[in-house]
Amino acid sequence: MTTPLQNDRLLRALRRQPVDVTPVWLMRQAGRYLPEYRATRARAGDFMRLCQTPELACEVTLQPLARFPLDAAILFSDILTVPDAMGLGLSFSEGEGPRFARPVRSARDIEQLSVPDPEVELRYVMDAVRLIRRELNGQVPLIGFAGSPWTLATYMVEGASSKDYAQVKGLLYDQPKALHRLLEVTTQAVIAYLNAQLAAGAQALMVFDTWGGVLTPRAYREFSLAYLARIVADLAHKTGDERAPVILFTKGGGAWLEAIAATGCEAVGIDWMVELGEARRRIGDQVAVQGNLDPAVLYAAPDHIRQQVTEVLTDFGPGPGHVFNLGHGVQPGVNPEHVRVLVEAVHELSKPYHSGVGR
Amino acid sequence: MTTPLQNDRLLRALRRQPVDVTPVWLMRQAGRYLPEYRATRARAGDFMRLCQTPELACEVTLQPLARFPLDAAILFSDILTVPDAMGLGLSFSEGEGPRFARPVRSARDIEQLSVPDPEVELRYVMDAVRLIRRELNGQVPLIGFAGSPWTLATYMVEGASSKDYAQVKGLLYDQPKALHRLLEVTTQAVIAYLNAQLAAGAQALMVFDTWGGVLTPRAYREFSLAYLARIVADLAHKTGDERAPVILFTKGGGAWLEAIAATGCEAVGIDWMVELGEARRRIGDQVAVQGNLDPAVLYAAPDHIRQQVTEVLTDFGPGPGHVFNLGHGVQPGVNPEHVRVLVEAVHELSKPYHSGVGR
């Protein structure tokens, strides 16, 4: 576990320290667009077994790193493992849509929830983290992650993916105190889960607030951001070591970047609906920014991918504090060779923005 | 057609003139949440027939007005009638998802598109507008509408609703000139269609840019906003009459309100992700603003609906220039009595914001 890190670009960029080239990793870099992922997934039988078998989770985590010169690995798992460990009974139906057998619908349901012990109910995740760290052997850092309490709550209350959030927003507008109790226990679960990932070896953390952007500004501050801030504040600092950087990402949260940056996180994830130069001007003096290529660019021809990479790099401009990523996950229909073009283009085309940094 | 308008609150508010109470209408106020709509829809057999039969389109347009003291009617139709008239072959499958038999996939497909004559291929819409105006008999104004060229293009290229816009964004990033040709012919079709609605009796117009918010800022300006501006500029002013106000609505376009307002439109629709006071500060000296209650509030109990109405009215503050609406359409699962609570609350609770205006 103490193998020195051979590539620390990600951690340096997240701390806004100089780097030789802009580090790049991609949300869902391990996923259905890779034939080797689909093969492992088929071997696992179902998606939950893939998440719950540390050897298989490790295998798919490492698959994109074997193909592309990525600067980070991200734990392969699902944000819904936490509510599953809270007793909601997660399964994935055809098309991989999540479903909870016991969704949370009433104040009484909420009272019965408790915080799982990450080394018991979520032991399989911690074993995967330990195994991945061992297998990575210092090649690149490992990012751990969790869903935001609000985002988890949407699934816990709706019981599945939702188009209009009727149930959870009904709770929000009708019984805000009950929703706060749900978010409180979920926040405690997320903090314990992320701290356990750090203890198991995660070197950076990301919190995915996938559905924060469906809230009004007032509701976002009260029901999502407040809990993101709690998570950032309550993560365990390692003694005698630098804090593992925390990246917060609210999809559709472009209006609230300043408030997200003010939580004390090290970096803010940016979707493609915000121009990266604007994001930098607004929050770049406090945090690193991660993003923000439109994932659909990966459907375009290689020349056009390189051109769009150039635009993102130009938007951010010279100097440290940028982690290249998509504005959302790699889509399943993408040609893996296009991902290679993207990753190589970031390293090649970002050199001029880091001149003077010898490595 | 020359019956004087008995309730001109909407038109006055859109022109930022004083009103006695804030006018209110709701996107999808005629729709599946109403049992009488579902009955007419069942009688029509399928959704296209409902749109294409002027008597039925008129009937459902008027249904919410028979129930609630709304300040406007909006033509019942679908944004996809325009590409259907361009020859793409629209149908609605189960669950009312749209589908085109002949989606646009290549530059060659695009070259073959032409601008339909609204009084021929879309005669059924114009007949509906004329019939609704007659039946309304000056009770409230009638709003006509169209989809934005970009939003129509997403359906025309994908052939159906899309989750990731792979095809149309592939075109955007790979063959931008071909996409511009598609947007050009669609823009001409939309302009002809809206001008025909004005000639048939529409008293205000709204352009729905439902999917502008999935674009990057740069792509939004180039592929959606530029065409919205063209539409606003090219609509026929009536001689000897005030121009029919035009409302532009880009869902997810909160970052671009200034640019939308600068097109010359009379009003900008605001989704619930922007605080209305902020919207007013940013663009309220140029245009009226319409919105922006979270549609999910209609799932809450009446007291909570009234409280949320108060918040929206407070956010906007006193004075003219506000049209109350949701930030998106009424959802099918909503209790119609909750809509009544909302509409009545707007009139009752907005009075103090318009003091001094006697009627």
* B311 chain-A contacts, CB cut-off 8 A: 218
Burial class (CB in 10 A: 0-12, 13-18, 19+), A1: exposed
The Cβ-side half-sphere exposure at B43, using a 13 Å CA radius, reads 12
* Residues forming beta bridges with residue A329, ordered by sequence position: none
This prediction's pTM = 0.95
Identity of the residue in B216, B218, B296 whose CB atom sits nearest the CB atom of A165: B296
* Alpha helix positions (H), chain A: 9-14, 35-44, 47-52, 54-67, 81-83, 107-111, 123-136, 149-158, 166-174, 176-200, 217-219, 226-234, 257-261, 276-283, 302-316, 336-350
For A273, the 3-state DSSP assignment is coil
Residue contact A274–B252, C-beta within 8 A? no
Burial class (CB in 10 A: 0-12, 13-18, 19+), A67: middle
* B252 chain-A contacts, CB cut-off 8 A: 252, 273
Q: What's the gap in Å between the CA of B281 and the closest CA on chain A? A: 15
**Catalytic residue check, B41:** yes
- The token duo for B32 is 């599946």
Residue contact A218–B311, C-beta within 8 A? yes
Q: Which of A267, A277, A335 is nearest to A311 (CA)?
A: A277
DSSP structure string for B300-311: S-HHHHHHHHHH
Asked whether the beta carbons of B205 and B197 are under 8 A apart, the reply is yes
Q: Kindly report, residue by residue over B156-186, the tens digit of the pLDDT.
A: 999 998 888 999 999 999 999 999 999 999 9
CA distance A140 to A64: 12
Task: Choose, from B8, B71, B78, B271, the residue flagged as catalytic.
Answer: B78
Asked whether the beta carbons of A319 and A16 are under 8 A apart, the reply is no
C-beta neighbour count of A54 within 10 angstroms: 18
CA dihedral B307, B309, B311, B314 (to 10 degrees): -130
What is the reported pLDDT for B114? 95
* B174 chain-A contacts, CB cut-off 8 A: 299-301, 304
Q: Which of A269, A347, A350 is nearest to A313 (CA)?
A: A350
CA distance A11 to A19: 10
If you search the block for the tokens 């600067």, which residue do you land on? A71
Mean pLDDT of B42-55: 95
Q: Which residues contact A208 (CB under 8 A, 6 or more apart)?
A: A79, A145, A146, A147, A148, A151, A249, A251
Name the residue of chain B whose CA is nearest to A306's CA: B173
Q: Kindly report, residue by residue over B78-134, the tens digit of the pLDDT.
A: 999 999 999 999 999 876 689 999 999 999 999 999 999 999 999 999 999 999 999
Average pLDDT, 10 consecutive residues per value, chain A (359 residues): 86 97 98 97 94 98 98 98 97 84 94 97 98 98 98 96 90 96 98 97 97 97 98 78 91 97 98 97 98 97 97 96 97 97 98 77
Q: Kindly report, residue by residue over A310-323, the tens digit of the pLDDT.
A: 999 999 999 999 99
Q: Which of B42, B202, B171, B151 is nearest to B107 (CA)?
A: B171
What is the reported pLDDT for B2? 64
Asked whether the beta carbons of B273 and B279 are under 8 A apart, the reply is no
Q: Is the pLDDT of residue B240 over 60?
A: no
CA distance A17 to B21: 56
Q: Is the pLDDT of residue B359 over 80?
A: no
What is the reported pLDDT for B242? 78
CA distance A148 to A220: 12
Confidence of residue B212 (pLDDT cuts 50, 70, 90): very high
**Catalytic residue check, A41:** yes
Asked whether the beta carbons of A4 and A237 are under 8 A apart, the reply is no
Identity of the residue in A166, A214, A304 whose CB atom sits nearest the CB atom of B299: A166
For B209, the 3-state DSSP assignment is strand
To test the contact with chain A by mutation, choose from B158, B161, B163, B173 the residue with the greatest count of A C-beta atoms within 10 A, namely B173
Name the residue of chain B whose CA is nearest to A273's CA: B216
What is the reported pLDDT for A195? 97
What is the reported pLDDT for A2? 63
Asked whether the beta carbons of B357 and B17 are under 8 A apart, the reply is no
Q: What's the gap in Å between the CA of A90 and the closest CA on chain B? A: 23
What is the reported pLDDT for A359? 46
Is the bond leading into B292 cis (omega within 30 degrees of zero)? yes
Q: Kindly report, residue by residue over B246-259, the tens digit of the pLDDT.
A: 999 999 999 999 99
With the C-alpha atoms ordered A328, A333, A338, A344, is the resulting torsion angle positive or negative?
Answer: positive
C-beta neighbour count of B48 within 10 angstroms: 17
Is the bond leading into A195 cis (omega within 30 degrees of zero)? no
Say how far residue A355 (Cα) sits from the centre of its chain. 29
What residue ranges in B67-127 does DSSP mark as E strands? 73-74, 90-92, 98-100
Tally A–B CB contacts below 8 A: 95
Q: Kindly report, residue by residue over B191-204, the tens digit of the pLDDT.
A: 999 999 999 999 99
**Catalytic residue check, B28:** yes
Identity of the residue in B166, B254, B300 whose CB atom sits nearest the CB atom of A170: B300
**Catalytic residue check, A28:** yes
Q: Kindly report, residue by residue over B339-354, the tens digit of the pLDDT.
A: 999 999 999 999 999 9
The residues of B whose Cβ lies within 8 A of any Cβ of A are: 164-166, 169-170, 172-174, 213-219, 252, 254-255, 272-275, 278, 294-297, 299-301, 304, 308, 311, 331, 333
What is the reported pLDDT for B96? 60
CA dihedral A231, A233, A237, A242 (to 10 degrees): 100
Q: Which of A252, A85, A69 is nearest to B214 (CA)?
A: A252
CA distance A301 to B173: 8
